[in-house]
Amino acid sequence: MALRKIVTVPDEVLRKKARFVKNFDENIKQLIDDMVETMRDAPGVGLAAPQVGILERIIVIEYGDEEDEEAPPKLYAVVNPEITRASSEKEMGVEGCLSIPGIVGDVERSTSIIVKGQNRNGQKVKYKLNGWVARIFQHEIDHLEGVLFTDLAESVWQPVEEPELEPENVEDNE
Protein backbone atom coordinates (compact mmCIF):
# COMPACT_ATOMS: atom_id res chain seq x y z
CA MET A 1 0.00 0.00 0.00
CA ALA A 2 1.07 3.57 -0.61
CA LEU A 3 -0.14 7.02 0.27
CA ARG A 4 -1.46 8.96 -2.70
CA LYS A 5 -1.42 12.74 -3.06
CA ILE A 6 -4.85 14.25 -2.45
CA VAL A 7 -5.76 16.63 -5.25
CA THR A 8 -7.15 20.01 -4.14
CA VAL A 9 -9.13 22.76 -5.82
CA PRO A 10 -8.74 24.23 -8.40
CA ASP A 11 -7.31 21.05 -10.01
CA GLU A 12 -9.52 20.33 -13.06
CA VAL A 13 -9.64 16.56 -12.40
CA LEU A 14 -12.11 17.33 -9.58
CA ARG A 15 -14.55 18.73 -12.17
CA LYS A 16 -14.48 15.78 -14.57
CA LYS A 17 -16.84 12.81 -14.70
CA ALA A 18 -15.20 9.52 -13.69
CA ARG A 19 -15.24 6.44 -15.95
CA PHE A 20 -16.97 3.17 -15.10
CA VAL A 21 -14.61 0.40 -14.01
CA LYS A 22 -14.83 -2.66 -16.25
CA ASN A 23 -11.68 -4.60 -15.35
CA PHE A 24 -11.34 -5.69 -11.75
CA ASP A 25 -7.63 -6.38 -11.90
CA GLU A 26 -4.79 -6.03 -9.40
CA ASN A 27 -4.41 -2.33 -10.30
CA ILE A 28 -7.95 -1.61 -9.09
CA LYS A 29 -7.38 -3.55 -5.87
CA GLN A 30 -4.11 -1.68 -5.30
CA LEU A 31 -5.84 1.65 -5.94
CA ILE A 32 -8.55 0.78 -3.39
CA ASP A 33 -5.94 -0.22 -0.79
CA ASP A 34 -3.99 3.00 -1.44
CA MET A 35 -7.17 5.07 -1.17
CA VAL A 36 -8.04 3.51 2.20
CA GLU A 37 -4.55 4.21 3.52
CA THR A 38 -4.63 7.78 2.16
CA MET A 39 -8.10 8.45 3.65
CA ARG A 40 -7.01 7.18 7.08
CA ASP A 41 -3.77 9.16 6.97
CA ALA A 42 -5.51 12.43 5.99
CA PRO A 43 -7.58 11.75 8.25
CA GLY A 44 -10.99 11.58 6.60
CA VAL A 45 -14.14 9.46 6.50
CA GLY A 46 -14.40 9.14 2.72
CA LEU A 47 -12.39 9.46 -0.46
CA ALA A 48 -13.25 9.20 -4.17
CA ALA A 49 -10.73 8.17 -6.82
CA PRO A 50 -10.80 11.60 -8.56
CA GLN A 51 -9.48 13.05 -5.29
CA VAL A 52 -6.24 11.14 -5.88
CA GLY A 53 -6.19 12.12 -9.57
CA ILE A 54 -7.75 8.90 -10.95
CA LEU A 55 -10.91 9.26 -13.05
CA GLU A 56 -12.42 5.90 -12.06
CA ARG A 57 -15.76 5.36 -10.30
CA ILE A 58 -14.42 4.16 -6.95
CA ILE A 59 -15.15 5.39 -3.43
CA VAL A 60 -13.94 4.32 0.00
CA ILE A 61 -15.72 5.24 3.22
CA GLU A 62 -14.97 4.37 6.82
CA TYR A 63 -17.50 5.40 9.39
CA GLY A 64 -18.63 4.17 12.79
CA ASP A 65 -22.22 3.63 13.87
CA GLU A 66 -23.59 6.76 15.52
CA GLU A 67 -25.56 4.70 18.03
CA ASP A 68 -22.75 2.31 18.98
CA GLU A 69 -19.52 4.18 19.63
CA GLU A 70 -17.90 0.97 20.92
CA ALA A 71 -18.28 -0.83 17.57
CA PRO A 72 -15.33 -0.49 15.19
CA PRO A 73 -15.97 1.72 12.13
CA LYS A 74 -17.20 -0.08 9.02
CA LEU A 75 -15.10 0.14 5.87
CA TYR A 76 -16.86 0.36 2.50
CA ALA A 77 -15.04 0.14 -0.84
CA VAL A 78 -17.55 0.52 -3.67
CA VAL A 79 -16.78 0.41 -7.38
CA ASN A 80 -19.28 1.95 -9.81
CA PRO A 81 -21.58 3.14 -7.00
CA GLU A 82 -25.04 4.37 -7.95
CA ILE A 83 -27.77 5.82 -5.76
CA THR A 84 -30.88 3.90 -6.79
CA ARG A 85 -33.22 5.44 -4.25
CA ALA A 86 -33.08 8.55 -2.07
CA SER A 87 -35.55 9.58 0.59
CA SER A 88 -37.59 12.71 0.02
CA GLU A 89 -36.80 13.58 3.63
CA LYS A 90 -33.76 15.82 3.65
CA GLU A 91 -31.58 17.27 6.35
CA MET A 92 -29.06 20.10 6.49
CA GLY A 93 -25.58 19.18 7.75
CA VAL A 94 -22.09 20.61 7.88
CA GLU A 95 -19.65 19.04 5.41
CA GLY A 96 -15.98 19.45 4.69
CA CYS A 97 -13.73 17.87 2.06
CA LEU A 98 -10.11 16.74 1.90
CA SER A 99 -9.90 18.38 -1.55
CA ILE A 100 -11.12 21.75 -0.21
CA PRO A 101 -9.05 22.25 2.95
CA GLY A 102 -10.06 24.91 5.45
CA ILE A 103 -13.67 25.30 4.22
CA VAL A 104 -16.93 23.78 5.48
CA GLY A 105 -20.51 24.36 4.43
CA ASP A 106 -24.18 23.63 5.08
CA VAL A 107 -25.43 21.05 2.57
CA GLU A 108 -28.91 19.55 2.33
CA ARG A 109 -28.90 15.79 1.66
CA SER A 110 -31.37 12.90 1.70
CA THR A 111 -31.48 11.25 5.13
CA SER A 112 -31.55 7.72 3.68
CA ILE A 113 -30.43 6.18 0.39
CA ILE A 114 -29.94 2.84 -1.33
CA VAL A 115 -26.63 2.39 -3.14
CA LYS A 116 -25.81 -0.38 -5.61
CA GLY A 117 -22.36 -1.09 -6.95
CA GLN A 118 -19.62 -3.66 -6.94
CA ASN A 119 -16.96 -4.71 -4.47
CA ARG A 120 -13.23 -4.91 -5.22
CA ASN A 121 -13.75 -8.29 -6.92
CA GLY A 122 -16.58 -7.12 -9.18
CA GLN A 123 -19.36 -8.80 -7.17
CA LYS A 124 -22.60 -6.86 -6.80
CA VAL A 125 -23.27 -5.07 -3.51
CA LYS A 126 -26.25 -3.12 -2.19
CA TYR A 127 -26.40 -0.90 0.89
CA LYS A 128 -29.34 0.69 2.68
CA LEU A 129 -27.86 3.71 4.43
CA ASN A 130 -29.19 6.27 6.90
CA GLY A 131 -27.89 9.34 8.68
CA TRP A 132 -24.29 10.49 8.40
CA VAL A 133 -23.05 7.48 6.47
CA ALA A 134 -25.75 8.20 3.84
CA ARG A 135 -24.47 11.80 3.71
CA ILE A 136 -20.88 10.63 3.25
CA PHE A 137 -21.89 8.30 0.40
CA GLN A 138 -23.76 11.14 -1.36
CA HIS A 139 -20.76 13.44 -0.96
CA GLU A 140 -18.31 10.86 -2.38
CA ILE A 141 -20.60 9.84 -5.26
CA ASP A 142 -20.90 13.55 -6.17
CA HIS A 143 -17.10 13.56 -6.65
CA LEU A 144 -17.52 10.91 -9.38
CA GLU A 145 -19.74 13.38 -11.25
CA GLY A 146 -17.35 16.32 -10.83
CA VAL A 147 -19.59 17.94 -8.20
CA LEU A 148 -18.10 19.48 -5.06
CA PHE A 149 -19.99 20.13 -1.83
CA THR A 150 -19.41 23.86 -2.30
CA ASP A 151 -21.60 23.65 -5.45
CA LEU A 152 -24.52 22.48 -3.29
CA ALA A 153 -23.85 24.39 -0.07
CA GLU A 154 -26.30 26.94 1.23
CA SER A 155 -23.40 28.72 2.91
CA VAL A 156 -19.64 28.11 3.27
CA TRP A 157 -17.16 29.36 5.83
CA GLN A 158 -13.76 28.81 7.39
CA PRO A 159 -14.17 27.09 10.75
CA VAL A 160 -12.56 28.80 13.71
CA GLU A 161 -10.56 26.47 15.89
CA GLU A 162 -11.15 26.95 19.59
CA PRO A 163 -7.90 27.27 21.52
CA GLU A 164 -7.36 24.30 23.80
CA LEU A 165 -7.38 25.19 27.46
CA GLU A 166 -4.81 23.74 29.79
CA PRO A 167 -6.51 21.80 32.61
CA GLU A 168 -5.17 24.24 35.27
CA ASN A 169 -6.79 27.15 33.36
CA VAL A 170 -10.27 25.63 33.47
CA GLU A 171 -12.29 27.05 36.33
CA ASP A 172 -14.51 24.81 38.41
CA ASN A 173 -17.89 26.52 38.74
CA GLU A 174 -19.35 24.18 41.33
Quickly list DSSP for 87-137.
-S-EEEEEEE-TTSTT-EEEEEEESEEEEEEE-TTS-EEEEEEEHHHHHHH
151's enclosing H/E stretch is helix 149-152
Residue pair 125/116 in contact (Cβ under 8 Å)? The answer is: yes
CA dihedral of residues 94, 58, 74, 91 (deg, nearest 10):
30
Q: What length is written for the chain?
A: 174
Residue 8, phi then psi, degrees to nearest 5 = -120, 160
Annotated catalytic sites, by residue?
Answer: 140
